[in-house]
Structure 1
């Protein structure tokens, strides 16, 4: 099963990337990582070879982790620029997607569910689990990831396996 984490943090090597990699590891998946910030100005036009290759890398995955810090209650514009490269309704058709966001406090806990999950679904992805929101100050030490995986991992992995069986 192929997994790809798309990290929409403007800072390379961020906590957002770490959280995405931890999620993949908790699901016992080998996961490729795309740091959207590395795609640079190619995101601002259509047809950039690096961006096109990254889009194809995501489209070939069985499971996509879309990860972003919470900026003003939603995902980053950087991640939005990348997601805009995918065709509506078919860009992620048949893929399993997991929205993951880190934030400074509990006030934005619904951000991944209300802002990131809908755009993934609009692109055709299946999001079979509740989005994961973690506090950026405690995600490495709190129980948010084990609680999430305890509840959702089987559902997510079964959905991804069903995709690979097609």
Structure 2
């Protein structure tokens, strides 16, 4: 296991989703006493290799980083009411149970509050299916909230960090 890893499923590099994910990882890491944001897996850089036939060393390394995370912040913009296809293509490459023992923290950035449940209804079940423990709540960030990100990250991290810490303690005992 390797501390905290941030997985960004935005197809555009340098996105607001990337910035929000890194800041979320730093905030949670601070609450957990981990170095954050740790490793960052930006799928924008890996997109061509994800959809190409054949193996890719970059994709394999990214999959390994994600599978070895103790805490995994998974971030995506909201597309069509859910996470991006790019994130799904990447996570589909993980075998079932690959995230067992991992605390996964889902984060979606959205333009409309009507999509706020997508983080719980769509992204959480995918992470649970892969074996992750997903503390409540996931983070649904409106684009309008990005200007004052710390005001939203702090309260969210205060809620999920104790749950994450409990899972990490249990894992250390196992």
| Same fold flag (TM > 0.5) | yes
Residue 94 (structure 2) pairs with residue 86 (structure 1): yes
Q: Distance in 2 between matches of 1:139 and 1:114?
A: 22
User: Could you tell me whether the CA contact under 8 Å between 2:83 and 2:123 is conserved in 1?
Assistant: yes
> For 1:165 and 1:23, how far apart are their aligned partners in 2?
27
Tell me if 1:126 matches 2:103: no
Matched, 1:60 2:61: no
Cα distance in 2, alignment partners of residues 14 and 116 from structure 1: 19
Counterpart in 2 of 1:111?
118
User: 1:11-70 CA distances to partner (integer Å, 9 max, x unpaired)?
Assistant: 111111111111112121412111111113221245321111110011111011110000
46-55 vs 65-74, greater mean Cα deviation = 46-55
Structure 2 contact 83–108 (Cα < 8 Å) conserved: yes
Structure 2: segments with no counterpart, 5+ residues: none
**Structure 1 unaligned spans of 5+:** none
Matches within 5 A, 1:34-73: 34-44=41-51, 45=53, 47-73=55-81
Distance apart, 1:165 and its partner CA: 4.7
Greater helix content: 2
Counterpart secondary structure, 1:53: helix
Alpha-carbon RMSD across the aligned residues, in angstroms, is: 1.7
Q: Distance in 1 between matches of 2:66 and 2:27?
A: 20
In structure 1, the partner of 2:20 is: 19
Question: 3-state DSSP class of the match of 1:139?
Answer: helix
Q: CA separation in 2, counterparts of 1:55 and 1:164?
A: 23
- Retained in 2: the 8 A contact 1:112–1:133? yes
TM-score (norm 2): 0.87
Q: Pick from 135, 140, 164 the counterpart of residue 142 of structure 2.
A: 135
